[in-house]
């Protein structure tokens, strides 16, 4: 007998037809701000991983929920210890910046 992997969705006890499509405001106020403040969520629907350790094509398998969109909490790394530039090295490549750093 082989070891069976547990489906993370089956452990969430979600009702049939449940969809997770938060607005930008909901992501910031209800999830990110609460996460930074140290609050715990009763429903773990957003995975916490270090995005920079994985190639982009591996990320869908790391998501807890979602088919076309995936959400992650990830620490932000700096390129230089005293600098402001983010470190974009990831897996076997890097994340390309598409806008200005804010």
Query: What Rg value do the Cα atoms of the chain yield, rounded?
Result: 16
Please provide the average confidence, as pLDDT, over all residues in the chain: 81
Confidence band (pLDDT; 50, 70, 90) for 31? very high
> Is residue 46 a part of any domain in this protein?
yes
Eight-class DSSP state of 37: T
Asked, for residue 10, whether it belongs to a domain, the answer is no
pTM over 0.85: no
Q: What does the pLDDT read at residue 83?
A: 84
Instruction: Give me the pLDDT at residue 35, please.
Output: 92
The count of structural domains within the chain is: 1
Beta bridge pairs of residue 93: 90
Per-residue pLDDT reduced to its tens digit, 50-65? 988 888 888 889 988 8
pLDDT of residue 4: 44
Instruction: Give the contacts of 22 (CB within 8 A, at least 6 positions apart).
Output: 30, 31, 71
CATH number at residue 86: 2.170.150.80
**Residue 15 lies inside a defined structural domain of this protein:** no
pLDDT at 77: 82
Q: What is the pLDDT of residue 1?
A: 44
């Amino acid at each position: 007998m082989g070891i069976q992997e547990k489906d993370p969705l089956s452990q969430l006890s979600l009702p049939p037809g449940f969809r997770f499509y938060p607005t930008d405001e909901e992501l910031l106020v209800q999830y990110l701000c609460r996460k930074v403040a140290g609050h715990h969520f009763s429903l773990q629907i957003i995975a916490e991983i270090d995005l920079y350790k994985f190639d982009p094509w591996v990320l869908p398998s790391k998501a807890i929920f979602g088919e076309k969109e995936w959400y992650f909490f990830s620490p932000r790394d700096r390129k230089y210890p005293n600098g402001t530039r983010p470190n974009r090295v990831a897996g076997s490549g890097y994340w390309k910046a598409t806008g200005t750093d804010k």
